[in-house]
Homo-oligomer: A and B are copies of this chain.
Amino acid sequence: MADPRFFLKPHPLTLAQIAGRIGAELRAPEDGEYLVHDVAALDVAGDAQLSFLDNKKYKDQFTQTKAAACIVHPDMVGYAPEGVRLLLSLSPYKAYALAAQAFYPEQRPEPSISKFSTIHPDAKIGQDVSIGDFVTIGANVEIGNGVWIESHVAVGSGVILGDGVRVGNHATLSHCIIGNGTRIYPGVRIGQDGFGFAIDPSGFVKVPQLGRVMIGDHVEIGANTTIDRGASGDTVIGSGSWIDNLVQIGHNVKIGRGCILVAQVGVAGSTELGDFVVLAGQVGVAGHLKIGSMAKVAAQSGVTKDIPAREEWMGYPAMPMKRYLRQSVYLSKVIDKRREGQ
């Protein structure tokens, strides 16, 4: 069970209630009234807990689990140990995520505005808003309904936050418009000047950064990530994209819908990502490139060229995955031969 220091004790649910919530089918409808109290991993779940099997690597744990109930793919039914109640789903991990949400809904504080915050009188604050201690909110800010702003956040003049947005502690927001349901994690910096200057023998000349950051709906922006505003035109993060911690997004970058950028990725200025692009951890993408929709780039790759849609690339500099693997295999064989020859 999740530590009650940090999580509310979940309310028990019947398997029928859960099946309804997660879109799964009870293998034995008579199990519908059985009450479970929590979710847990296969190897630790007991007779009050619901577990799941998604990755077949854990099949052995499944065959020995003592869980009261388990979410599984219909193909795995044959491996189920006796006594475990089954909820059948074609997407067991997603079904588990929904079940865990049912037991552990996001804990939001009661709406209230800390008296230790400074809110400009021209700011418009929606209904049911929660604002923590030591928050500053500038002129003409617009905050939607149900927004939760944690402590020590700075919201600069003119910023718009859509309904249900959550902003983590110590985040800095300026020159940005943020869609509904988007979540900003602690320490994120959005809207500062991009890295723009003209070179001159007497020193660099700053190029005014005159754009904004436009963030869609239901986006996640991880801790300590930085997103610079556009130089002319906007930096854009499409709806439903997930960005992990310590990611750098340069000015005028456009990111499509449903993209995944894993931790420590860097995307240089004016590069455009289509929809559902995946950049694995520590990938770097040079500026002014186009990465097609559904393209995937392996961790630590350095992208210096456009990538067509749906391709998988890897390497430094990045190349199509097959070509990269061919090169790796070649080098590996040469080395093995030379070692034998010694």
List A residues at the B interface (Cβ < 8 Å): 2-3, 5-7, 39-41, 91, 93-94, 96-98, 100-101, 103-104, 114, 116, 118, 132-134, 136, 140, 150-152, 154, 157-158, 160, 168-170, 172, 174-175, 185-187, 189, 192-193, 195, 197-200, 203-208, 210-212, 218, 220, 222-224, 226, 228, 232-233, 240, 242, 244-246, 248, 250, 258, 260, 262-264, 266, 268, 281-282, 284, 286, 299-300, 302, 304, 316-317, 323, 326-328, 330-331, 334-335, 338-339
Cβ contact within 8 Å between B326 and A338: yes
**Chain B residues within an 8 Å CB radius of A198:** 91, 93-94, 96-97
Cα(A93)–Cα(B96), bound, Å: 53
Cβ contact within 8 Å between B316 and A327: no
Cβ contact within 8 Å between A240 and B204: yes
Known: A41-B232, A186-B192, A203-B218. 13 other contacts (CB 8 A): A3-B212, A5-B140, A5-B157, A94-B205, A100-B208, A101-B205, A133-B136, A172-B187, A185-B193, A187-B224, A226-B246, A316-B316, A327-B331
Cβ contact within 8 Å between A335 and B330: yes
> This chain: how many copies in the complex?
3
Cα(A168)–Cα(B98), bound, Å: 37
Cβ contact within 8 Å between A335 and B339: no
Cβ contact within 8 Å between A224 and B316: no
Among B39, B245, B266, the residue within 8 A (CB) of A248 is: B245
How far, in Å, is A148 (CB) from chain B's closest CB? 13
Among B170, B232, B266, the residue within 8 A (CB) of A281 is: B266
Cβ contact within 8 Å between A282 and B284: yes
Cβ contact within 8 Å between A223 and B316: no
Cα(A101)–Cα(B231), bound, Å: 12
Cα(A335)–Cα(B158), bound, Å: 55
Sample of 26 A–B contacts (CB below 8 Å): A3-B175, A3-B212, A7-B210, A97-B197, A97-B198, A98-B205, A100-B208, A101-B205, A114-B118, A154-B186, A172-B186, A185-B189, A185-B192, A185-B193, A186-B189, A195-B244, A203-B240, A222-B226, A223-B228, A245-B248, A268-B281, A282-B282, A284-B300, A299-B304, A326-B335, A330-B334
Cα(A262)–Cα(B267), bound, Å: 11
Interface of A is mostly: loop
**A192-B185, A242-B197, A316-B300 given; A6·B175 CB < 8 A:** yes
How far, in Å, is A3 (CB) from chain B's closest CB? 6
The 7 A-B pairs at the shortest CB distance, nearest first, are namely A5-B158, A94-B198, A189-B223, A2-B210, A172-B186, A300-B302, A226-B245
